[in-house]
Amino acid sequence: MSYYTEALPWARQASARTNVLTSVILAQWDIEGQGWPPAFNNPGDVGDPANAGQTSYASIQAGVDAYVRTMMLSYYSGVRSAVGYVAQSQVLGKSPWAAGHYGNPPGSDLISIIQTNSLTQYDVLPPAPTPPSPQEAEEMTSWQEGGQNHIAGEVNNKAYHWWQAIGGNPAGEPTWYVEILPTP
């Protein structure tokens, strides 16, 4: 397997949670993570200012969660709202994430990695199954957290996580979001 295909399920999970394109995340992690599995289980090289630098995580999932929490900080809102991999890469390059700004002009190294490795092919998600029926959900793990309903389970030997706002979408049918969970 290549670096990108190994990191892909984790990058798709981070993309679903941040609105940053999978191609941009893969390129950033290629620079920051020092291979796959990433050094210190920290694919985004998330720093810890309280401890002056690098943080080590107990698992890749913990490192991805830290990446998502960091990417959701207000000073990365421009990255999350930019449209297209070029714009997201440029805004990320101008952000405080990396002192080297991912090239000169900012973001150019990310763009080069994305284009050289055809990473935009990963920005299109594969079809995901519809949310489970109430009967199917009874056989899966479900919980409420953070004002959302969550269901996790397996469909056709793939692990999925569905979530929606409690009460659903007031304008009509409930909107469910889905992510494919990485398998260890």
d(CA 34, CA 99) in angstroms, rounded, equals 16
Band (172; pLDDT cuts 50, 70, 90): low
Fold of 3-123: Lysozyme (1.10.530)
Band (40; pLDDT cuts 50, 70, 90): confident
Band (161; pLDDT cuts 50, 70, 90): confident
Amino acid residing at 76: Y
pTM for the model: 0.69
- Of all residues in the chain, what percent carry a pLDDT higher than 90? 32
pLDDT digits (tens, 9 = 90+) for 95-140: 988 888 999 999 999 999 999 999 998 887 555 667 777 788 788 8
- Of all residues in the chain, what percent carry a pLDDT higher than 70? 86
3 versus 174: which is more confidently predicted?
A: 3
d(CA 131, CA 116) in angstroms, rounded, equals 36
d(CA 126, CA 111) in angstroms, rounded, equals 23
Domain boundaries, the chain: 3-123, 134-180
| 116-139: b (≥16 Cβ within 10 Å) or e | ebebeebbeeeebeebbeeeeeee
d(CA 148, CA 167) in angstroms, rounded, equals 9
| 85-101: b (≥16 Cβ within 10 Å) or e | bbbbbbbbbebebbeeb
- Length of the chain as a residue count: 184
